[in-house]
Structure 1
């Protein structure tokens, strides 16, 4: 689904907003009831939840990767638990990147499994119990902030610094899954991701609304010997906000002769990829996509499409370590 433009405009209480408000109240009520009716399974290891209050892409996957690598540097053994959005696996199942496809596991778990053991389970509690049988001492719960099935020790709300919390309204009147003040009551940290300018604007707009400590971070291109400077590219992406990917490519000097924004998690069929290949050839351009999209590529196209790997750098490492220490992770 393409997110409506008005979600990111100042709330104006127009007729449209008035008509949508009752549905927003219903959505908020449904979320509150779901959170209240289940007492989460309490694990034998600390649980870090990486989630959001917004719908769509906010940077949860880069945040999970950054946490994995940080915990591993601390000598910890993290394991990930995901519901496997877009995949067919019910689970609980330990993902093997050599055996499972994105169609089975979902693209995000397949990408995350390259960094640490990753479990997919529609039943989060069952997945948590499987994690307890493994050689792991920290569980990272991917996109489980509104799911009460597993008790959380540390909850990190990830938000795009440029988009913020939009107009501050709940679906369908805005981009939020629940009222901001309600979600922040369960959060321990807010991580805003974006440039210095975006961080400053986020602070001016939303700083007064944050009742929990804030971390800032930015995505940095992982230099792997590929020079994009002057390269003509046909860039395509099926992520929440593909414009961020295009901007990052341009920052590396790439010439984007065409961009194609697909639906979030859209399957990359042979027919679709062949069409993109023909179009790129006609433009004299190189096909380029994101790491998350790349795991959905058909095997015949894996050598034909370049990826732009990025990693999240969290600025306030001391504040993060303090939060980790508060739940027994040091």
Structure 2
């Protein structure tokens, strides 16, 4: 979905910034020329901020339990949330009680809060609600350390920080950087000239690098997002294989960081896909589904938490799971058992 931003002042006419054109340059050889000076300024601010935390000029908060950060150096659509869910379930299977702390992007909740079953995504954000729907304790808040303390009060013994790689105020014991295996780091430029929040070399400092699809490079763990079933919205005990729509035409709805990945997954199942791509964290309304036919609607699980009551009976969510080698989880648990993990200051 292409978006435009209009900037104006009293002294000059409005200037329209084509965000779609800007983002198209992120994954081409040449960035938009006027964004390059801004990228240089962004890099200076980013490097200074990280240096202030590294030297102790800005204070970090260390928790008395291990903290695992899951994040990326590029914006949008690398698969952080499915990986966070997979990590939490693996920790539960190993006897831990993990909790996930999130900023709650897209929600209205400002103060730290715990999510209950059936939490409202308009209040807490779509990704935290999706994680909570998987039976995982979640807390949101701008003050992530304060939100993490709510999880500790619930008895959590490991904290997972979703999309927390650049949130240096929360001290971490293990860093996991997720990389898009197809798009990688785009043109290699920082925002807004490119897709990077930090230089690509920052990924090398992480304890684990997870490559979502594509061909992993040296030192990276391959992650595959698998989805072969669909659940009917409002009746999630009703399950149907994606292959049952082979040869049929469907509406595909995705308001995620990289919608083409979802559309291609459906095409790989033999469907003819009518694409409906929305901005990441889009707030859906009934008019978004005003299609002039009765074709089935398939959407991502992240979108489905916001769409109950907005769509008809022939609407389905497609959950995905993150599959990694068992050795990845074994090494993670070994790191977690280190005597220094979660050590209070």
Regarding TM over 0.5, the answer is yes
Cα distance in 2 between the residues matched to 1:254 and 1:296: 24
Q: Tell me if the contact between 1:102 and 1:110 (Cα under 8 Å) persists in the aligned partners.
A: yes
Partner of 2:318: 308
Partner of 1:32: 47
Which of residues 170, 185, 188 in structure 1 aligns to 2:190?
170
1:261-300 CA deviation, whole Å, 9 max, x = no partner? 1111111112323x2xx33x1xx42111100000111424
Q: Structure 1 residue 303: deviation in Å? A: 4.0
Partner of 1:325: 334
Which has the larger share of helix? 1
1:212-250 CA deviation, whole Å, 9 max, x = no partner? x31111111143433332332011111111100001011
The SS at the match of 1:171 is coil
Cα distance in 1 between the residues matched to 2:179 and 2:303: 21
1:246 has 2:256 as partner: no
Alpha carbons of structure 1 residues 122 and 237: separation in structure 2 relative to 1, 3 Å: same
Alpha carbons of structure 1 residues 302 and 120: separation in structure 2 relative to 1, 3 Å: farther
Cα distance in 1 between the residues matched to 2:47 and 2:186: 21
Which has the larger share of strand? 2
Q: Structure 1 residue 186: deviation in Å? A: 3.9
Cα distance in 1 between the residues matched to 2:102 and 2:76: 16
Which of residues 274, 289, 295 in structure 2 aligns to 1:285?
295
Partner of 1:6: 25
Partner of 1:148: 168
Cα distance in 2 between the residues matched to 1:83 and 1:92: 9
Cα distance in 1 between the residues matched to 2:141 and 2:286: 28
Equivalent runs, 1:14-29 vs 2, <5 Å: 16-17=32-33, 19-29=34-44
Cα distance in 1 between the residues matched to 2:97 and 2:312: 30
Q: Tell me if the contact between 1:222 and 1:311 (Cα under 8 Å) persists in the aligned partners.
A: no
1:139 has 2:159 as partner: yes
| RMSD between aligned residues | 2.0
1:220 has 2:229 as partner: no
1:296 has 2:315 as partner: no
Q: Structure 1 residue 302: deviation in Å? A: 6.8
Gaps of 5+ in 1: 208-212
Q: Tell me if the contact between 1:191 and 1:214 (Cα under 8 Å) persists in the aligned partners.
A: yes
1:22-77 CA deviation, whole Å, 9 max, x = no partner? 21121122223333243221111111111000011110011111111111111111
Cα distance in 1 between the residues matched to 2:312 and 2:143: 32
Cα distance in 1 between the residues matched to 2:149 and 2:45: 27
Cα distance in 2 between the residues matched to 1:302 and 1:285: 10
Cα distance in 2 between the residues matched to 1:30 and 1:96: 37
Q: Structure 1 residue 185: deviation in Å? A: 5.3
Which of residues 114, 119, 123 in structure 2 aligns to 1:94?
114
Partner of 2:6: none
Q: Tell me if the contact between 1:88 and 1:103 (Cα under 8 Å) persists in the aligned partners.
A: yes
Q: Tell me if the contact between 1:235 and 1:246 (Cα under 8 Å) persists in the aligned partners.
A: yes
Q: Tell me if the contact between 1:39 and 1:151 (Cα under 8 Å) persists in the aligned partners.
A: no
Q: Structure 1 residue 313: deviation in Å? A: 0.3
Q: Structure 1 residue 305: deviation in Å? A: 1.6
Partner of 2:148: 128
Partner of 1:210: none
1:272 has 2:278 as partner: no
Partner of 2:10: none
TM-score normalised by the chain length of structure 2 = 0.82
